[in-house]
């Protein structure tokens, strides 16, 4: 064992974290733990074998009682793991005597029910203390994390219980639905078969959860010593001292050194502990079942298995006791408002009915408010977020025909009654630009107001042309296209149309955009 290497990081932890440290050690070293543990469990089961068939539940009890003996194997492996070593089954067998020599009897007898069992286990197994020394040491060590140690012990029970219930439920779940075997009802009858079954499951559950308990307690122990004694510091200091001088300084008290070496060196200290075979049950349960019991069980079995007795169904209904009369909240409501002109009921129960009606009324108002409020809230939300929700939102402002498109006034009232004539007139007067503009905007006005074409103010000539394609027949559309192109040349290039071209447009205009001419 090199003093410098540690299998875990010693830090001052909280108690619960220390438990997790123990579990972490267990996770990392689960293989050797499983090896040693398995060996012990097999040994124990072999020991129980003669009794297993007759009195299984006693075996389960015995197994449970002997757990402190089993724990020692786990603690042995974990104590090696603390120094980064992996203990094998052979190591365990070699150290067999050392592992079991200290405090086994006490652990199995008067310390068996200690609520801090796994927390104090290292004190006598690893430190080898007993008697007054043990008590003092245990008092010091458990002064702070005793609460956590107790919780850990309870967790051990709960985990075992959880595993047990889990297994039972799993098996129950795997029964085919039609088989009608109710595992849980086995607790009532406790046949031998069920006892075997229960023992097997119980031993399995104990076997699976006990190492957790030991590891958690060991974690608490390690952490407490780190807190109390500064293990980590001692190691660092030793490294420093070793670096400083070649002289090995072993000036520490034997105790703290001894505490470092799990398991304790097998020196000749003549501590005799009761060891050997765990106590075997002295009184195996009385022989086979007694006749009365047998008869009882047969009856049970018949009741259970014969379909004639077995038609039971579990029906779960949410039932409410019928009120008998209709509550007539409506009538009470009317009564309430119209000063009970017509007593609806015989007067004897009227008073009560009225109260009942009032109560119904309150409930109704509450309900209406609840539902109404919910509804209003939802509506408000929809309204509030209508934009984000991508709902069709009314255009803001509602679309109305723009007064001007591309800078041209297209309101109908701004147009002369006879557009082509007015345009010709302007053209002759030497205002071809105005003339063409008139033709174009009149055509647009026509499209907007007669054909219902929607053009926003940001539409360019090209947009209008595309939109017009959907609203005009091919003939007029072609004319509108020519008109647009001519207008664009004029507007953006100052390119005057020829007279013929203009005339052509004027002539085609009434037919295409007809309405007013």
Q: Tell me which residues in 414-453 interact with other proteins (CB under 8 A).
A: 437
Q: Of 456, 330, 478, give the one whose Cα is nearest residue 400.
A: 456
CB nearer other proteins, residue 99 or residue 408: 408
By CB under 8 A, the residues from 319 to 358 that bind other proteins are 320, 322-323, 326-327, 329
**Phi-psi region for residue 5, left (φ > 0), alpha (ψ -120 to 50) or beta?**
beta
| Interface with other proteins, residue 385, by CB under 8 A | yes
By CB under 8 A, the residues from 29 to 88 that bind other proteins are 81, 84, 86
- CB 23 to other proteins: min, Å: 5
Long-range contacts of residues 277-282, Cβ cutoff 8 Å, at least 24 apart: 277/47, 278/44, 278/47, 278/62, 278/65, 278/66, 278/69, 278/108, 279/62, 279/65, 279/108, 280/47, 280/51, 280/62, 281/51, 281/55, 281/58, 281/59, 281/61, 281/62
Q: Which stretch binds other proteins (CB under 8 A): 283-291, 366-374, 472-480, 509-517?
A: 366-374
Q: Which stretch binds other proteins (CB under 8 A): 92-100, 123-131, 267-275, 488-496?
A: 488-496
CB nearer other proteins, residue 27 or residue 280: 27
Q: Which stretch binds other proteins (CB under 8 A): 40-48, 238-246, 287-295, 503-511?
A: 238-246
Q: Which stretch binds other proteins (CB under 8 A): 91-99, 295-303, 470-478, 489-497?
A: 489-497
| Interface with other proteins, residue 253, by CB under 8 A | yes
By CB under 8 A, the residues from 390 to 419 that bind other proteins are 390-391, 404-408
| Interface with other proteins, residue 248, by CB under 8 A | no
Q: What is the DSSP letter of 280?
A: P
CB nearer other proteins, residue 16 or residue 47: 16
* # binding residues, other proteins (CB under 8 A): 103
CA separation for the pair 40, 207 (Å, rounded): 10
In degrees and rounded to multiples of 5, residue 408 shows phi and psi of -110, 135
Task: List, in sequence order, every beta strand (DSSP E) within 18-57.
Answer: none
Q: Of 150, 151, 124, 152, give the one whose Cα is nearest residue 138.
A: 124
- CB 103 to other proteins: min, Å: 25
Using CB atoms within 10 Å of the CB of residue 450, give its burial: 0 to 12 exposed, 13 to 18 middle, 19+ buried.
middle
Question: Contacting other proteins (CB under 8 A), which of 308, 315, 393, 394?
Answer: 315
By CB under 8 A, the residues from 77 to 136 that bind other proteins are 81, 84, 86
- Reading the block at residue 50, the tokens are 């003669």
């Amino acid at each position: 064992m090199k003093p410098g290497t540690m299998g875990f990081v010693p830090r001052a932890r909280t108690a619960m974290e220390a438990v997790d440290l123990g579990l972490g050690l267990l996770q990392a070293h689960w293989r050797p733990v499983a090896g040693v543990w398995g060996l012990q469990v097999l040994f124990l089961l072999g020991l129980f074998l003669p009794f297993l068939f007759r009195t299984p539940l006693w075996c389960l009890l015995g197994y449970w009682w002997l757990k402190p003996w089993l724990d020692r194997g786990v603690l042995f492996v974990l104590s090696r793991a603390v120094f980064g070593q992996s203990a094998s089954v052979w190591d365990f067998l070699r150290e067999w005597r050392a592992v079991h020599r200290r405090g086994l009897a006490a652990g199995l007898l008067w310390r068996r029910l200690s609520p801090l069992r796994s927390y104090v286990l290292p004190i006598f197994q690893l430190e080898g203390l007993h008697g007054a020394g043990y008590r003092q040491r245990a008092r010091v060590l458990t002064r702070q994390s005793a609460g956590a140690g107790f919780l850990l012990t309870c967790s051990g029970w709960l985990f075992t219980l959880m595993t047990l219930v889990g297994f039972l439920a799993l098996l129950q779940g795997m029964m085919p639905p039609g088989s009608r075997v109710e595992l849980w009802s086995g607790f009532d009858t406790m046949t031998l078969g069920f006892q075997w079954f229960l023992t097997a499951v119980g031993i399995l559950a104990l076997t699976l959860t006990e190492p957790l308990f030991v590891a958690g307690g060991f974690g608490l122990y390690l952490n407490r010593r780190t807190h109390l004694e500064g293990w980590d510091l001692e190691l660092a200091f030793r490294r420093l001292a070793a670096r400083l001088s070649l002289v090995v300084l072993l000036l520490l008290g034997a105790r703290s050194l001894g505490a470092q070496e799990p398991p304790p060196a097998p020196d000749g200290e003549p501590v005799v502990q009761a060891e050997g075979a765990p106590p075997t049950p002295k009184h195996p349960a009385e022989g086979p079942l007694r006749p009365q019991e047998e008869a009882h069980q047969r009856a049970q079995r018949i009741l259970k298995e014969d379909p004639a007795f077995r038609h039971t169904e579990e029906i779960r209904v949410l039932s409410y006791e019928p009120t008998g009369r209709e509550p007539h909240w409506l009538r009470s409501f009317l009564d309430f408002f119209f000063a009970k002109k017509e007593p609806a009921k015989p007067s004897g129960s009227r008073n009560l009915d009225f109260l009942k009606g009032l109560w119904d009324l309150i409930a109704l108002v509450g309900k209406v408010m609840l539902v109404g409020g919910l509804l209003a809230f939802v509506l408000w939300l929809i309204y509030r977020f209508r934009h984000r929700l991508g709902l069709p939102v009314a255009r803001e402002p509602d679309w109305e025909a723009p007064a001007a498109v591309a800078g041209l006034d297209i309101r109908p009232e701004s147009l002369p009654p006879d557009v082509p004539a007015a345009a010709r007139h302007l053209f002759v007067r030497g205002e071809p630009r105005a003339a063409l503009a008139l033709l174009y905007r009149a055509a647009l006005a026509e499209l907007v107001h007669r054909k219902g074409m929607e053009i926003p103010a940001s539409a360019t000539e090209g947009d209008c042309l595309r939109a017009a394609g959907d609203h005009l027949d091919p003939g007029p559309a072609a004319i509108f296209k020519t008109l647009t192109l001519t207008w664009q040349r004029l507007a953006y290039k100052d390119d005057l149309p020829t007279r013929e071209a203009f005339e052509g447009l004027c002539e085609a205009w009434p037919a295409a955009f007809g309405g007013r001419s």
